[in-house]
C-alpha cells in the first residue's frame, strides 16, 4: 500500500451478521438466543452483537422478543439473501469503488481514466450484487 492510500472493503460486520443469522437458525429450538449467547459463538463483545442485531432488526431480518423470548428470525432463511444482510449492516452505500480524486487533466491517461474505467467498475459491482442476491441464508445454513 502506498503512503496515504485508503482501502475500502466490506467490514467484518457482514460476516458477523451472517454468523448471527446462522446461529439463530441452528440453536433457536434448544436455547434462548441472546447477545451474550451469540457473542460466545462469534467471539466478539456482546456490545458489537447488539449493534448488529439492531441493524438486522431495522432491516426486518430479526425480531427481539422481550422477556425470555430472545432473538428470532423475522423471515425464513430462504427469503433472506446475502445482499439483504449486506444492505442491513454495511456502511458502504452506493458505489463500492472509490475513484482517486485528482487525475491530471493535462495527461492523456489522467483525462480519460474515468471514462475508460467507470463502466467496468459499475459492471463488476452489478455482478457482485447479483451473485449476493442469488445466495440465500438457507444455502449456507448448517442444517
Asked, for residue 4, whether it belongs to a domain, the answer is no
Q: Is residue 85 part of a domain?
A: yes
Whether the full predicted model's pTM is greater than 0.75, yes or no, is yes
Measured CA distances, 68 to 29, 32, 40, 53 (Å) = 13, 7, 18, 16
C-alpha span between 91 and 121 (Å, rounded): 19
Alpha helical stretches, state H, the chain: 12-27, 35-42, 46-58, 82-89, 113-134, 137-140
- Taking only the tens place, the pLDDT of each residue in 45-79 is 999 999 999 999 999 999 999 888 899 999 999 99
Domain that holds residue 63: 12-140
What are the CA-CA distances from residue 90 to residues 12, 13, 52, 107, 124 (Å)? 9, 7, 10, 36, 18
**Rg of the chain on CA atoms, in Å:** 19
Sign, CA torsion 108/110/114/117: positive
- Number of domains comprising the chain: 1
What CATH number did the domain enclosing 122 receive? Answer: 1.10.10.10
- Is residue 6 in some structural domain? no
Confidence of residue 99 (pLDDT cuts 50, 70, 90): confident
Amino acid at each position: 500500500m502506498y503512503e496515504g492510500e485508503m482501502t475500502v472493503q466490506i467490514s467484518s460486520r457482514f460476516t458477523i451478521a451472517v454468523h448471527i443469522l446462522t446461529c439463530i437458525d441452528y440453536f433457536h429450538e434448544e436455547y434462548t438466543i441472546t447477545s451474550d449467547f451469540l457473542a460466545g459463538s462469534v467471539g466478539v463483545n456482546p456490545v458489537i452483537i447488539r449493534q448488529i442485531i439492531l441493524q438486522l432488526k431495522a432491516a426486518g431480518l430479526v425480531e427481539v422478543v422481550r422477556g425470555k423470548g430472545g432473538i428470532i428470525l423475522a423471515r425464513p432463511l430462504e427469503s433472506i439473501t446475502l445482499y439483504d444482510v449486506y444492505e442491513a449492516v454495511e456502511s458502504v452505500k452506493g458505489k463500492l469503488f472509490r475513484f482517486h480524486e485528482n487525475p491530471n487533466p493535462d495527461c492523456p491517461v489522467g483525462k480519460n481514466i474515468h471514462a475508460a474505467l467507470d463502466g467496468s467498475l459499475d459492471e463488476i459491482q452489478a455482478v457482485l450484487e447479483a451473485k449476493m442476491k442469488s445466495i440465500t441464508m438457507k444455502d449456507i445454513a448448517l442444517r
